[in-house]
Structure 1
Amino acid sequence: MTSSDKNRPDQHLEHRARELWHAAAQRIDPATAGRLRAARRKALEPSRATPHHTIRWLIPTGAFAVIALAAMMVWQPLPQRHAATSTQAVNAADTTTDLDNDLPPDADKTDPNLYQNLDFYGWLAANDSPPANR
């Protein structure tokens, strides 16, 4: 037996069911056919209305989002800085720009404790020699 022989009874049953369905569809009275068409239209109506409904709300929603974004950008409160905070920020900015220079920092912009042992730093620089290879 081949695979087409195995499916043969199912194909016959399917063919017979289609014939009976078509014959019954031809004998439906007009009132029942009208009710079936109305039910079909009613069932298919929400699927047609969904894209229209989405598009109808898409434009106002996008406009509201744009207005909200513009309002947030225009009426954004300015940051309030205290005098001490702004002075620290200026000193921090000066320090970062000084780090890029090859010159040592100014005495008024650095920590005074760094200048406490200048003799030691001078001695360390004079005696700094590369380690000997072993």
Structure 2
Amino acid sequence: MNSSDKQFEQRVRAHYQEAIQNIDPVTAGRLRAARRTALEAASAHASPRHRARVLVPVGALAAMALAVLMIWQPSPQPQPASKQAAATEQDNEYLPPGADTADPGLYQNLDFYSWLAANDSSQAKR
């Protein structure tokens, strides 16, 4: 700053101090109320900006983490043969037996079983 700027600043400060001393209380109260309102409005407008500044990087990191987890998945480990056989037996437990392992008598009279099913449902209606 050069000397003319310093002199100008000193004169402005002097006028400001003089104006503060000569202001009436009603105007001073209105100025204080206006200042509080302006500060509250400024703080209310600053918080969404602050949230945006924080949420954008956090969202980007979350998206990157999701992408990494989708790409980098561990490969399934092969199961031992004994566990696979046990799982197959458990799955087959609820299935009817195959023709080669079942009693041949079950497959001799299939017409009888269909007749029995048809007559059984007609007796349930009575």
TM-score, length basis structure 2: 0.49
- Specify which structure has the bigger relative contact order, considering alpha-carbon pairs within 8 angstroms and separated by 6 or more residues: 1
